[in-house]
Amino acid sequence: MIQQRSRLLEDAAFRGIIWAFTGMIFSFLFVLLGEYIRDIVPNLLRIWIATIGASVLTALLYSSMRLTVVIANFVFIALMMYVLKKPDGATLEPLILIGSGLGALLGALYGWQDKQSHICRADGKIVAGFIAGILAAIPVLLLYFVIGEIDYPWSAMMITPLAIFIYVSSAYWFVNLCHTLLSPIFDGLLVGCGMGGITALIFVSMAGSFSPEALGLEYHQEFVQRIYHMLGPIVSGSAAVCFLVGVLRSIFHVRWYDL
């Protein structure tokens, strides 16, 4: 009896940590994308785009952790070399293009070399992430119309667990349905492009926080400052909510899916 309770506690804690970590990734991407398009689109559309983008990119990240690590290392090195050769500071768009392009190349090579990896399931996961993003933003957008504007951190903390829940609940079905839509090479290309772009955004936020002069435009420096002012409460709050969801899924014995 004691051993059974111990196993239940371990499973609950493990699931909670996994969900919290995923929530941190999702909310981080949500903030990055939302702030990047802040002055381009209206607020409601910004939330929807950020939710869909964060859902798709989080799904891409989990398409192949091995490929994600490889791309992150190569892209970080390439971007660092690029910034060092720019004494006047680098701008955001070229960094994203370099990261996405290099990531796409590495991803395509990975898909061509290893056709048996989970990378071949990326197309189904992309579809699941896209649907999850669309659906997860709807309740928050409805609240906007009912009670007025909601603070961005609260929006993120509501959207993050909901998007992950919808994705986890539907990804298995979409993977089985859509995993043959694209060849492994194109799956790898998509994953690599997305991961390269994410890595570039992370690189920009890190470089801008440690050395603001590394970014050439004042707008990009302000972009980094806004991100760092928002990240703490949003990421920690989203992680806490997702941890509780993970624990509850363990308590109710919701099955794991090998995606």
For residue 257, tell me if it sits in a domain: no
Q: What is the pLDDT of residues 226-247, one digit of tens each?
A: 777 788 888 898 999 999 998 9
Q: What is the pLDDT of residues 136-191, one digit of tens each?
A: 999 988 988 888 777 778 888 899 999 999 998 888 888 888 777 788 888 889 88
Map tokens 């933003």 to a residue: 137
Q: What is the DSSP string of 4-18?
A: HHHHHHHHHHHHHHH
CA distances from 124 to 51, 160, 180 (A): 18, 20, 8
Is 60 exceeded by the pLDDT of residue 258? no
**Where does residue 154 rank: exposed (0-12), middle (13-18), buried (19+ CB within 10 A)?**
middle
Structure tokens at 3: 């051993």
For residue 77, tell me if it sits in a domain: yes
Q: Which long-range contacts (CB under 8 A, 24 or more apart) does 6-9 make?
A: 8/250, 8/251
204 with 92: CB under 8 angstroms?
Answer: yes
pLDDT on residue 118: 66
Between CA 171 and CA 257 the distance in angstroms is 9
For residue 259, tell me if it sits in a domain: no
Is 80 exceeded by the pLDDT of residue 121? no
For residue 53, tell me if it sits in a domain: yes
Query: What's the total number of domains in the chain?
Result: 1
Between CA 124 and CA 179 the distance in angstroms is 5
Q: What is the pLDDT of residues 178-225, one digit of tens each?
A: 777 788 888 889 889 988 988 888 887 776 665 655 555 555 667 777
Between CA 150 and CA 142 the distance in angstroms is 11
Domain around 169:
2-251
Is 60 exceeded by the pLDDT of residue 133? yes
pTM given for the model: 0.84
Q: What is the pLDDT of residues 92-109, one digit of tens each?
A: 778 889 999 999 999 999
For residue 137, tell me if it sits in a domain: yes
Between CA 42 and CA 46 the distance in angstroms is 6
